[in-house]
Amino acid sequence: MTAAHGVTATIDAVTITGGAGSFDAGGIENLGTLTLTNSTVSGNSAHLGGGISNAGTLTLKDSTVSGNTAIEFGGGIFNGNSGTVTLKESAVSGNTAFERGGGISNAGMLTLKDSTVSGNLAGAIGGGIDNGGEGTVTLKDSTVTQGGEGERDQTQTHGAT
């Protein structure tokens, strides 16, 4: 599914699964303004952003991103340098990236409110969240769990904070 430049959309109570992107976005590619509520993005795969690839403005509320895979960055969510992602009362869990950001790979603006990032795995760095380039991460009443082997559930920051 793609939300193109200039598109504003709100999607409620859907499951997006089984997508396979050749490069960006196995499940959702957002270039516009997208709000996803009471929904699940799971079982998708791509080079960047196994579940979701974002270069626009994305809000997830009461939603789950789980069981997605990326060859490089952002098993669950890849947020590019022009992107803004806000998670409210949402969970990112059980995602895998073979390089960075098993749960979330962020180069833009990322805000988590009352949300959880857990049980994600990256082959190189940032099992939970990989924050790179000029990326900023804001956590409010949220949890990024740390534990397990290797880069499972860690937050890695390089570049901005």
Taking the chain, what is the end-to-end CA distance rounded to the nearest angstrom? Answer: 31
Q: Would you give the DSSP letter of residue 100?
A: B
Count of domains forming the chain: 1
Band of residue 78 on the pLDDT scale cut at 50, 70, 90: very high
Using the predicted structure, report yes or no on whether residue 115 has a pLDDT greater than 50. Answer: yes
**Of 35, 161, 69, which Cα lies nearest the Cα of 107?**
161
Q: What pLDDT is stored for residue 146 in this prediction? A: 57
Tokens of 47: 């080079």
Tokens of 56: 């626009």
Whether the predicted model's global pTM rises above the 0.75 cut: yes
Q: What pLDDT is stored for residue 125 in this prediction? A: 85
Q: What pLDDT is stored for residue 1 in this prediction? A: 87
**Of 110, 130, 111, which Cα lies nearest the Cα of 120?**
130
pLDDT (tens digit, 9 = 90+) per residue, 39-58? Answer: 999 999 999 999 999 999 99
pLDDT (tens digit, 9 = 90+) per residue, 81-112? Answer: 999 999 999 999 999 999 999 999 999 999 99
Q: What pLDDT is stored for residue 160 in this prediction? A: 47
Alpha-carbon gap, residue 133 to 120, rounded angstroms: 21
Distances (CA, A) of 130 to 34, 37, 92, 124, 143: 22, 24, 13, 10, 15
98, 70 Cβ separation under 8 angstroms: yes
Using the predicted structure, report yes or no on whether residue 2 has a pLDDT greater than 80. Answer: yes
Q: What's the half-sphere exposure (Cβ side, CA atoms, 13 Å) at 148?
A: 17
Using the predicted structure, report yes or no on whether residue 161 has a pLDDT greater than 60. Answer: no
Structural domain harbouring 27:
2-157
Residue type, 150: G
Average model confidence (pLDDT) for the chain?
90
